[in-house]
Structure formats: structure tokens, C-alpha cells
Structure 1
Amino acid sequence: MHSSLTRRGVARAASALALAGLAAASLAACSGSAAAGGTSSIPKASAQVATSAAAFGGMKGLVAAAEAEGHLNVITLPPSWANYGKIIAGFEKKYPGITITSQTPNGSSADEVAAIKSQGSGSNAPDVVDIGTAVLDANTDLFTPYKVASWNDIPTADKDPNGLWYYDYTGLMSIGYDSSKVAAPTKLDDLLGSGYKGKVAIKGDPTQANEAASAVYLAAVQDGGSADDIQPGIDFFGKLKKAGNFISVLPTQATVNSGQTPVVIQWSFNNVAWGAAGGSSGNPNWKTVILPGTAIGSYYNQSISKTAPHPAAARLWEEYLYSPEVQNLYLAAGAYPAELAAMQKAGTVDTATLKSVGEPPSNLVQLTADQAGKAADLLKSGWSKAVG
């Protein structure tokens, strides 16, 4: 359990982010000799408790074991989220013998946990999760330790000392808006105005989804609250609902393009991806605003299911995510990777991308695990009363 560790993080996205394109690069690991669906040299029971690649005899053995399994199940990873479309494609290109099944792409952290609990070790059960802190903290018994080869490049406070979880990336809470439909908000209270009636959405239920909860945290710190007191954030959404401006619609690229959700409070990397940076699928009128004053960030966590049906592939996936190539792909989406400081020191960060995204800010608030837990309790008791 990691409730006592401080949740440090860095995040920033400018409203005029010009994100550099970054091609998915291959992971520098030896390819194994086992064919997909073949026989691994390590029993599944051993793979499920392996805490490093050394348990497979090194990376070559891990690759062979993963290719023998032939499959990997991921969950709640939309292609536009933190560059996961390119990341998944890069993994399958590097390891063509492993097929990725991406489940419930628009789901929440709670959906990840529910899938593991309901499916256990079934063939369709999630192997790995990309999960918010509060939900992870309440379900640590579902996960198993593993330390990637670049373990020392992840800051000490950003990982469980035994390898049960580790930060992957963070964004910054931002307001995305369709500039052809609404005026640019310059402060939180602008969203209470008549010009935003029936137009403001967040990414799901704050009692279930970390991104939605973080929108409430942003409202709290922008409206007299703090990480220790998110009640002002709940109260703000109550006022937003009373004004007729808050809508209970799950926003997606499609709802943005159709005009159903002209204003969305969500992570900076998602708002940026839904605009011009999204290419032909994006909305050229979609802009991103980072409100002045206190900012909210929140690292997501990687962890491996204790009952993963493809335990070797799950571990190979983590090795892939924490390679410089994929950490740079996170960065290219405007999501600051956990290994950024180490990559800057080693010279492996994509400097052009970092320049376009900007250096991480110093005025970032990130809830500790204890604060997130208390905030979750308050949301459970007060959210439906405020917006119901």
C-alpha cells in the first residue's frame, strides 16, 4: 500500500501547443525465438510472480515468453489518449507475434478494476492497467509487483518501493472549447455565464473516474478550496448545474465534432489531441485553455494484474512503455512522462518536442494518496446531491 508516499508530479500544456510528430520507434531488445502461441520456457505460474526480466533469463527470455503467449489485453486506452494509438501500433510492429486487444477505450479507472474482479484470469481479462491513484489505492490487492529495467530512472516518490505500481505520465487539467461556438473562458466563473448554457461537460462520474474527479479538484483550487478541501469544487459544479450549464454527457471526439459538448474540462493532452493536432479526425476550432493560478495534475499509474492471463506479455508491455521511445511518445502528446528528468540528464529526451510542449511548471498541485482518498469519500457522499 502506498498511501503514505507523496504524489509528486509535473505537468503543463500551453493553450497553443504545437506538438511535434513522433514516429514510434522500436524497443532495443533482442527478439525471441518462440512463435506466437508456442511453448514458453517458463511456466505461467512462475511468470505471474516474476518481479523483473531476470526471472525469464533477461529480456530475450521475456520476449520469447511473451511471444509464446501471443496476446495482450489492455483496457481504457483511447487511441487519442496520451498517444496510445501510436504506442499500441508500435508494440505490435515490434512484436508482430503478439496481438493486442484494447477493451473499453472510453472507460474509467473503476471499469478497469471491475473487469479484473469479474473476469479474473479469464482469457479476456485485463493484463495491465493504466489507472488513477484513488482507485488503485483502494484495490492494491489486485496487482502484483514488477520492476522494469529502467526502474532507477523513475523518481523514488513516483513508485512503490516493491514495484507494485509506478507513475507513467501526467497532464494538466484544462478547459477545451469550440471557438466557433463559445467565447474563450479566462477564469472558472466564466463557465457560469449564459453563453455556456447546456455546454459544459467532464469525463464521466467523479466518483468513478480520476479525470472527472480532477476536474472537481481544479474547480476547488480555483474557487477557494485546496487539495485538503475539495468541497468548493463540488459546490461549483452544483452552481454550474443550477445554471443549466453542466451536462451529463460523456464527451468524446465525436461529441466535440458534432457540437454536443462544446466545452470539456479534461487533461491537457486530451484537449490538445481533439483539436488541430488530431489531424483529419480533430476539430480545427477546438482550443485549449490553462487557467491562470493554481494548476492540477495527476499521474496515472501502471500496474500488472495479479491474475493476468498473459503475464509475460504484460511485463514486456511495461518494459516497452518505460523505454525512451515510448516515454517520448507520451511527451509528444503533451503528457509528461515519469522518466523525463532522467531522460533529460541522459540526453534521450526529444528536445524539439520538449521545447514545443514547454518545461513543467512549478505551481502544480497534485493530491497525495491520502488526500485523494479523502476527496473520493467526499465525492461519494456529496456529488450526487450537488448535481443530481
Structure 2
Amino acid sequence: MKKSRLASVLVLLVAGGLVACAPPESKDQGEKTSAGVSASEATSAADFGGDNLSGLIDAAKKEGELNVIALPPDWANYGAIIKAFGDKYGIKVNSAQPDAASQEEINAATQQKGKSTAPDVFDLGQAVALANTAMFAPYKVEKFDEISAAMKAPDGAWVNDYGGYMSIGYDSAKVPEIKGVNDLLGPDFKGKVALNGDPTQAGAAFSGVMMVALSQGGSPDDIAPGVAFFQKLKEAGNFLPVDPTPATIESGQTPVVVDWDYLNVAETKKLPSWKVVIPPNAALAGYYYQAVNKGAPHPAAARLWQEFLYSDEGQNLFLQGSARPVRADSMVTAGTIDMTAYQQLPPVDGAATYVSEQQSDAAKKYLEANWAKAIG
């Protein structure tokens, strides 16, 4: 469920001296496509030649594999997305560290640079993505023009793929009804309020603290009230320092979870008493950032993965996981969206708030300086 686990498998193995040999070097990324362009430098499917995506598909199938990282199968329906991609193209998808945080994706790419095991693609929270754009390879998918300019880099170095609203999920059989953030300070919530990860590392947790800040009079320019609120939760004994998973929710270990609505909504299908509320005074919207690793060992497969994610099929798979696909508006207009799934998204009361790149950078610096002190 998470993308927020803080332990890096790679770091632990290296630090413990358990790696017997280094991973093999990646294959030559300089191989030319049928159009005479290096696969690692292709900026659109046209660079691979052929009709539509045929040249890209052939090049990706020749590579035969794709390395993804930090994609839990129960996060935004990624399990079904990975299977659908592999089945459709006959490409083996190697999914590493599914519970890793966004920063750990970047760390893995740095540590494994030049190796066949390096991530081909990234799926990142905003703060981490915008701090590492130098690691991304520009690429424009076929549907690029359907995506709002505010949700993509002009050259396609990064593009928002799916998103939602920050929410509070809770087990109504174990805690009282939650109408807003302030309810979490009540005595009925001792040891029961969990945040999905460390906000200095994980995008979901970062947005959780920002949502709380909005509810406390803060703004995208001022995340401090959010940190102060979590400090109050800690002092009241209500903050639960456990990273939530479907297992902890269903077992009752984490009866209240601050997380994206699509993750909390997914739990309602397994736990009937699980409820979800998007605070009306703090409707924080956010999208994840998709990018190709500039050093991708499978550059064609990485680009085909992008095409799949932004196709109608890929976008509807996100939607079926209760995530809001970035192309939703154009798909509604075209009549290609899964309307049944679209109509089941949680309602939002009030205008959505978004966090800009500059606001994200400033908030991240504040968290790095103050979060550990607040909840330590």
C-alpha cells in the first residue's frame, strides 16, 4: 500500500557485506533504432520508426525486460497494471523494493547506475521528483497533448500520471465518526492515528502533513501548523508511529490512517467498517510524477511503459484502483473513461488546493529541520 517504507534493501545488503558480486553492467544503450536514433535518447515513439508504436514495441520486446521500483501491487492498482503490461507485450517486469519511498527510488538509481538492475522508470512524489529532474530522460507519449501544461514538463522529462486527495480513513467499528482533522485530538484516538510514512522521504506522508496544515490555518506556503498539529498528537499519545499497510488496517493495528483517498477507498472493499473522509476545509490534491531514468538499462521498454500508463487502458486501470487519472477530463469527453469507476470516486467539498514546486521545496526544507524534533 505504501511507497513509504524507510529501509532500503540495497543499502542493507551492501552495508552488511552480503553482496557476493556486483550486478552485471547494463546493455549498450547506444544501439540505434530503425529511425537511426539511440533508444536512450528517443524523445517520442516516432524516433523508433514504424507505424504508431510498432517500432517502439519491437525494440522493447527485443530488450525483453523492464525494471520498476516502489510500486506496491495494492497502490493505485499497480499489481494489475504490471500484469497487464507484461501480458500485453510479453515483457518481464522486475519489481524491486515495492515498499520503498520516493527518495529511495532515486538512491537506487544512483547506487546502481550503469548496472542492469537499475530502475528504468520512476514514480515519485512531487518534492523528490522536482529535486531530481536532472536524472530524467525527456519523452513525450502519444497522448502528451491531452495533458494539462501544469501537469507536465514542456519537454516531457516528467508527467503527472495519477493522483487524488489527501484523506482520513478510519475503522468506524473502533473509533467515533471523524468529520475533520481536529477530531483526531480526542481521547478516543489514543495510539490510533497513523501517517503513511516519513514526510521527509515519502510523498504521501508529505502531503498528509500539508493537508493537516491547511486544516489548521496554514497554506502551501506554511506547513508549520501541520507539524505543530502532529506534535500535539504525539503529546496527547494519539500519534501511532507505525507505517500502515492493508494488513495493519484489517487487523485493527492502525484504525486511523492519513493517506491518499485512493488508498483508503481501496480498504473499504475489504473492510466494510472502513470509512473515508476528505476534510472539507483541507481538500489537498496531488499527483504523482512519472519519468524515465536517464540511465535506464532498458530504454525502449521504459518508454513503452510510459505509453501504456498514459493510454486509455492504463489510465482506466489507475481509475479502477480509485486513483484519479491525469487524462480523466479528455477521456470523459471522448467517452473512453470507465464511467462506473469514475462515479465511485469520493466527493470533494470545496476548492482543491495544489502545492507548487517552490512551495514544495520550502516545505520540504522545513520538514527536514523540524519533523524529527516534533515527533521524536
Question: How high is the TM-score relative to the length of structure 1?
Answer: 0.85
Alpha carbons of structure 1 residues 161 and 247: separation in structure 2 relative to 1, 3 Å = same
In 2, Cα distance between equivalents of 1:352 and 1:360 = 18
- Structure 1 counterpart of 2:167, one-letter code: S
Segments of 5+ residues of structure 1 without an aligned counterpart are 1-38, 277-281
* Aligned-residue identity in percent: 50
- 2:136 paired residue number: 143
- Structure 2 counterpart of 1:73, one-letter code: N
Deviation at 1:43, TM superposition (A): 11
- 1:301 paired residue number: 289
The equivalent position to 1:246 in structure 2, one of 239, 249, 255, is 239
CA contact (8 A) 1:175 1:290 kept: yes
In 1, Cα distance between equivalents of 2:167 and 2:97 = 24
| Higher mean C-alpha deviation, range 347-356 or range 255-264 | 347-356
- 1:162 paired residue number: 155
In 1, Cα distance between equivalents of 2:350 and 2:185 = 29
In 2, Cα distance between equivalents of 1:84 and 1:183 = 32
- 2:164 paired residue number: 171
The equivalent position to 1:88 in structure 2, one of 82, 106, 115, is 82
Deviation at 1:353, TM superposition (A): 2.3
In 1, Cα distance between equivalents of 2:48 and 2:347 = 38
- 1:46 paired residue number: 38
What secondary structure, in the 3-state scheme, does the structure 2 residue paired with 1:177 have? Answer: strand
Are positions 1:237 and 2:230 aligned together?
A: yes
Query: 1:10-21 residue pairs with structure 2 within 5 A?
Result: none
The equivalent position to 1:266 in structure 2, one of 242, 259, 265, is 259
- Structure 1 counterpart of 2:39, one-letter code: A
The equivalent position to 2:312 in structure 1, one of 304, 324, 335, is 324
What secondary structure, in the 3-state scheme, does the structure 2 residue paired with 1:201 have? Answer: strand
CA contact (8 A) 2:65 2:94 kept: yes
- 1:75 paired residue number: 69
Alpha carbons of structure 1 residues 358 and 231: separation in structure 2 relative to 1, 3 Å = closer
Deviation at 1:122, TM superposition (A): 1.2
What secondary structure, in the 3-state scheme, does the structure 1 residue paired with 2:301 have? Answer: helix
Alpha carbons of structure 1 residues 234 and 336: separation in structure 2 relative to 1, 3 Å = same
Deviation at 1:106, TM superposition (A): 1.5
Deviation at 1:332, TM superposition (A): 2.2
The equivalent position to 1:226 in structure 2, one of 219, 226, 230, is 219
In 2, Cα distance between equivalents of 1:306 and 1:60 = 22
- Structure 2 counterpart of 1:387, one-letter code: I
Deviation at 1:100, TM superposition (A): 0.5
- Structure 2 counterpart of 1:251, one-letter code: P
- 1:283 paired residue number: 271
Segments of 5+ residues of structure 2 without an aligned counterpart are 1-30
Alpha carbons of structure 1 residues 131 and 256: separation in structure 2 relative to 1, 3 Å = same
CA contact (8 A) 2:213 2:224 kept: yes
- 2:366 paired residue number: 378
CA contact (8 A) 1:134 1:369 kept: yes
| Higher mean C-alpha deviation, range 157-166 or range 179-188 | 179-188
Are positions 1:66 and 2:60 aligned together?
A: yes
- 2:11 paired residue number: none
Deviations 1:332-374 (CA, angstroms, capped at 9, x unpaired): 2221111111112222122222222267766111100110010
- 2:7 paired residue number: none
Deviation at 1:275, TM superposition (A): 2.4
Deviations 1:186-214 (CA, angstroms, capped at 9, x unpaired): 12111111111111111111001110011
RMSD: 1.8
In 2, Cα distance between equivalents of 1:102 and 1:274 = 23
Query: 1:356-375 residue pairs with structure 2 within 5 A?
Result: 356-357=344-345, 363-375=351-363
- Structure 2 counterpart of 1:50, one-letter code: A
Are positions 1:343 and 2:323 aligned together?
A: no
- Structure 1 counterpart of 2:216, one-letter code: D
User: How many corresponding residue pairs?
Assistant: 344
Name which structure has the greater RCO, CA cutoff 8 Å, separation 6+: 1
